[in-house]
């Protein structure tokens, strides 16, 4: 199987992705922090919003669970500031889609936006993910093409980027699960909860002292 040569556009995006890769968490947190003053969250579990907010919490928790599953299968190198891959990971959630950690992040982000309840939260979330993943994903794919050659090309041909397969890829290879890497997702959960509480706190201060 031959590798598809990268286009000039994908090369440009990959170059941008390499430059911002180490700052990916800070970009997301910066967008979230910038929205604290701009957004007006719906009161937590207010009458008329309880069912929708419960579903939003479940969606966000599902995203965290997918991130933890993906991180545990991939290992701690997913948290480094440089793109690296000691091995091609195809087991666990990677047998269904190529970017389960990013897919989980998107579920978490849009789940939090639904919990906030302000339509502008969806816009900020989509803007952050578009900026990050339109460049970081090509950068990672370029690296993996160079690192693993035809093995990665075969994997790409069978496993979608973000929309999961209904059945796991038959060519997957199971690897040891890294619990320490999975437990690292607790920090992401705390950041998400902290940002949401900051939004509620800022809204309360505005009503009391505004």
Q: What is residue 136's three-state secondary structure?
A: helix
pLDDT in the model for residue 175: 87
What whole-number distance in Å separates Cα of residue 180 and Cα of residue 154? 30
Could you count the other beta carbons within 10 Å of the beta carbon of residue 15?
Answer: 13
Name the residue with higher pLDDT: 30 or 108: 108
What is each CA distance from 8 to 18, 21, 126, 139, 142, in whole angstroms? 15, 20, 25, 13, 12
Whole-prediction pTM value? 0.89
| pLDDT confidence of residue 149 | 95
The residue ranges of every structural domain in the chain are 8-209
CATH class of segment(s) 8-209 = mainly alpha
Q: Which candidate, 56, 19, 70, 45, places its Cα nearest to that of 178?
A: 70
Q: Write down the mean pLDDT value for the chain.
A: 89
Distance CA 133, CA 128 (A): 9
Q: Using one digit for the tens of pLDDT, what is the confidence trace for 31-83?
A: 877 787 788 999 999 899 999 999 999 999 999 999 999 999 998 777 777 88
* Angstrom distance (rounded) from CA 174 to CA 73: 9
Contact 96, 168 (CB under 8 A): yes
* Residue found under tokens 């952050």: 128
- Cα(93)–Cα(198) distance, rounded to whole angstroms? 32
Q: Per residue in 2-14, pLDDT tens?
A: 445 555 666 788 8
Alpha helical stretches, state H, 42-184: 50-74, 100-116, 119-158, 179-183
């Amino acid at each position: 199987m031959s590798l598809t040569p990268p286009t000039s556009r994908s090369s440009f995006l990959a170059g941008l992705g390499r430059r911002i890769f180490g700052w990916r968490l800070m970009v997301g947190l910066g967008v979230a922090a910038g929205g604290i003053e701009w957004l007006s969250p719906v009161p937590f579990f207010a009458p008329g919003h309880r069912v929708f907010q419960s579903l939003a919490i479940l969606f966000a928790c599902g995203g965290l669970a997918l991130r933890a599953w993906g991180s545990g299968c991939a290992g701690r190198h997913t948290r480094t500031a440089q793109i690296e891959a000691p091995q091609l990971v195809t087991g666990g959630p990677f047998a269904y889609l190529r970017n389960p950690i990013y897919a989980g992040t998107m579920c978490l982000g849009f789940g939090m936006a639904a919990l906030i309840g302000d339509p502008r939260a969806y816009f900020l979330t989509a803007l952050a993910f578009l900026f990050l993943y339109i460049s970081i994903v090509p950068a990672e794919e370029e690296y993996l093409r160079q690192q693993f050659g035809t093995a990665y090309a075969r994997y790409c041909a069978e496993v979608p980027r973000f929309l999961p397969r209904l059945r796991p890829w038959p060519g997957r290879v199971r690897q040891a699960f890294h619990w320490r890497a999975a437990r690292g997702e607790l920090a992401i959960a705390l950041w998400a909860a902290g940002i949401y509480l900051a939004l509620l706190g800022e809204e309360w201060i505005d009503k009391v002292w505004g």
